[in-house]
Chain A
Amino acid sequence: MVTAQFEYLAPATVAEAARLLSRYKGEAKIVAGGQSLIPLMKLRLAEPKYLIDVSNIKELSGIKEERGGLAIGAATTYDAIGASAVVRKYFPLLAEAAGQVADLQVRNKGTIGGSLAHADPAGDFPAVILALGAELEASSSRATRKISIERFNVDLLTTSLRPSEVLKTVRIPFLAARTGTAYYKFENKASHYAVVGVAAIVTVNASGVCTAARVAVTGAGPKAVRAKRTERILVGKALTASQISTAAKRAGAEIGDFNGDIHASPEYRAHLTVVAAERAITRALGRAK
C-alpha cells in the first residue's frame, strides 16, 4: 500500500520541529516511531502534507532521574523504557506494560509520546501513564506548557495537545513507600492491543491498610479513564479478596459507552473490565511491601 504524497522533514531540535508545525499548521503531522501513524497513512485515513520526523531529535529521547521523579523524553521507545534500569527500579509498572505492547519489532520503534498523543482507545500507555499521575510538557514555537495527564485524554484519538504543540517530556512522580503496581490486560491475540487493560497502583500503611489507590482502564471505552469509584472503595481498608472484588465491580462506572466491535461486545468489555480490575488490584496489593 502506498501513502499519499507528502514532504519529509527531519528537524534536529524541538524548537525547529515546533517552528515547522506552526508554519504548516493543520497540514503537518509529527512522526516518531510511526507504528500507529504510518499504518493510518497507508490506509489513507491520514494524509498529512508534511511529515515532521522527531525520532532523531536527541533531546526528545532518554530517561532522566530528576528531583521527585523520572523525566522520559516523548520519543523514547518502549524497548528503551522496558530495558531501563532506572525504570525497573522505580516504576516496574512501566516496564511491565512496555513489555506487553504489541511485539518486539513495534516496541523497537513505538514511543511513549506517540502512544499518548495518538490516544488509541486500546493503547496500553494511556492507562498506565494516567494511573501514574504524570505531567506532560509540550512546546509550541511560542511557549512551553505543562499538562496534567488527567486533562490530556479528551476523547477517542483526541487529546488536549494543540495542533501547534510538540509533546516533549513525560514526568512521572515517584511512588510512595509500600506501593505495589500491576498492569493486567486481556489482549487481542492478533494485534496485542488491549481489549481491556487495567493499571493499578495500591499504597498500604505499616498495618496493611490501603491509604491510596489509583486504577485506570483502557480498551473499554473511547479513552483511558480512572476508575475513581473503585479507588474510593479500596482506600481506608485492610483489603481482603472480597473487598477487592466489591471494588472491582465498579471499575466500569466511569466508562460511559463501552466499545463494541468484532473483537468484543460492550457487555463483554464491561465484564472484562471488572475481571481485569480485580486481577490488577490483587497483584498490585501483593507487591505493596
Chain B
Amino acid sequence: MSYMITMRVNGVEHTAHVEARLLLSHLIRDVLDLTGTHIGCDTSSCGACTVLVNGQAVKSCTMFAVQANGADITTVEGLAKDGKYHPVQQAFWDQHGLQCGFCTPGMIITTVALLKKSPKPTEAEIRAGLRGNLCRCTGYHNIVKAVQAAAEARRSS
C-alpha cells in the first residue's frame, strides 16, 4: 500500500508516494537526495540522523516518513542562508568541532535546537543536551567549545 505525503523540507514543499515502512531518514536521503543527514547506528543511539521536525530535534531513523506528513522539516542543508553559514555551522568551523565529520550534521542540528531552548547553556547543560549525539573522534572538547561559541555569537548578533 502506498501513502501520499506532503511536507515542507528546508522551505520547499515536497510530495511523495511512500510505503508506510519508509523511515524519515531514508526519505530524506534516498528520495529527496539530501544526503547531509547521516545514518550512523540506525538504532536510535548515535543521533547522526537528527533533523528538526516542526522545530523539534528528532532522530529521523526512529520515525516513519508517513508520520511526518504535513510537517515542516529542517535538515543541515537548510541552515545556511544566502551562501552564509548558520552561526552554529560557523562556530563548528571556527572551533574545529569535528574530526571525521560524520556526526557533525546531527551535532549541529541538535545544537540549534538546544540553543533555542537554553540560549546560555552551562558546559554541563551542553554535554547533557548533546548526550544523544555520539562522536567517536573528538572526545567532545571542541564540540562543547563550538556550542559555547555559537551561544556567544547568537547573543551578540
In the assembly, what is the distance between CA of A10 and CA of B20, in Å?
12
Q: Which residues of B contact A103 (CB under 8 A)?
A: 47, 131-133
Asked if A190 CB lies within 8 Å of chain B CBs, one says yes
Main secondary structure of the interface of B (DSSP, over half): mixed
CB distance from A211 to the nearest CB of B (A): 35
B42 touching A1 by the CB < 8 A rule?
Answer: yes
Given contacts A8-B3, A35-B62, contact A105 B110 (CB under 8 A): yes
- Interface flags for A1-38 (1: CB within 8 Å of B; 0: not) read 11111111010000000000000000000000011001
In the assembly, what is the distance between CA of A109 and CA of B57, in Å?
9
Given contacts A39-B43, A190-B45, contact A109 B21 (CB under 8 A): no
Asked if B113 CB lies within 8 Å of chain A CBs, one says yes
Q: Which residues of B contact A104 (CB under 8 A)?
A: 57, 110, 113-114, 129-132
Asked if B66 CB lies within 8 Å of chain A CBs, one says yes
CB distance from B35 to the nearest CB of A (A): 18
Asked if B1 CB lies within 8 Å of chain A CBs, one says yes
CB distance from B59 to the nearest CB of A (A): 5
Given contacts A7-B20, A35-B62, A38-B62, contact A106 B43 (CB under 8 A): no
CB distance from A182 to the nearest CB of B (A): 18
Residue of A nearest to B20 (CB): A8
Of residues 1 through 30 on chain B, the ones whose CB sits less than 8 Å from some CB of chain A are 1, 3, 19-21, 23
Asked if A192 CB lies within 8 Å of chain B CBs, one says yes
Of residues 107 through 135 on chain B, the ones whose CB sits less than 8 Å from some CB of chain A are 110, 113-114, 129-133
Asked if B74 CB lies within 8 Å of chain A CBs, one says no
Residue of A nearest to B133 (CB): A103
A4 touching B62 by the CB < 8 A rule?
Answer: no
Residue of B nearest to A41 (CB): B21
Q: Which residues of B contact A201 (CB under 8 A)?
A: none
Q: Which residues of B contact A191 (CB under 8 A)?
A: 45
Q: Which residues of A contact B45 (CB under 8 A)?
A: 190-191
In the assembly, what is the distance between CA of A105 and CA of B60, in Å?
10
In the assembly, what is the distance between CA of A39 and CA of B20, in Å?
15
Q: Which residues of A contact B138 (CB under 8 A)?
A: none
Instruction: Give the residue of A4, A6, A106 whose beta carbon is less than 8 angstroms from that of B59.
Output: A106
- Interface flags for B19-62 (1: CB within 8 Å of A; 0: not) read 11101000000000000000000111101001000001111001
Q: Which residues of B contact A7 (CB under 8 A)?
A: 1, 20
Residue of B nearest to A190 (CB): B45
In the assembly, what is the distance between CA of A1 and CA of B64, in Å?
12
A6 touching B21 by the CB < 8 A rule?
Answer: yes
Given contacts A8-B3, A108-B57, contact A39 B21 (CB under 8 A): no
In the assembly, what is the distance between CA of A190 and CA of B113, in Å?
21
A5 touching B19 by the CB < 8 A rule?
Answer: yes
Asked if A254 CB lies within 8 Å of chain B CBs, one says no
Contact surface of A with B, Cβ cutoff 8 Å: 1-8, 10, 34-35, 38-39, 42, 51, 53, 55, 79, 102-106, 108-109, 190-192
- Shortest Cβ-Cβ A-B pairs, 8 listed: A103-B132, A8-B20, A108-B56, A3-B21, A105-B132, A105-B59, A103-B131, A8-B66
Contact surface of B with A, Cβ cutoff 8 Å: 1, 3, 19-21, 23, 42-45, 47, 50, 56-59, 62-64, 66-67, 110, 113-114, 129-133
Could you show 5 A-B contacts with beta carbons less than 8 Å apart? A8-B66, A10-B66, A104-B129, A105-B132, A109-B59
Further 10 A-B residue pairs, CB within 8 A, beyond A42-B42, A106-B44: A3-B21, A8-B20, A34-B67, A38-B44, A38-B63, A53-B67, A105-B47, A109-B58, A109-B62, A190-B45
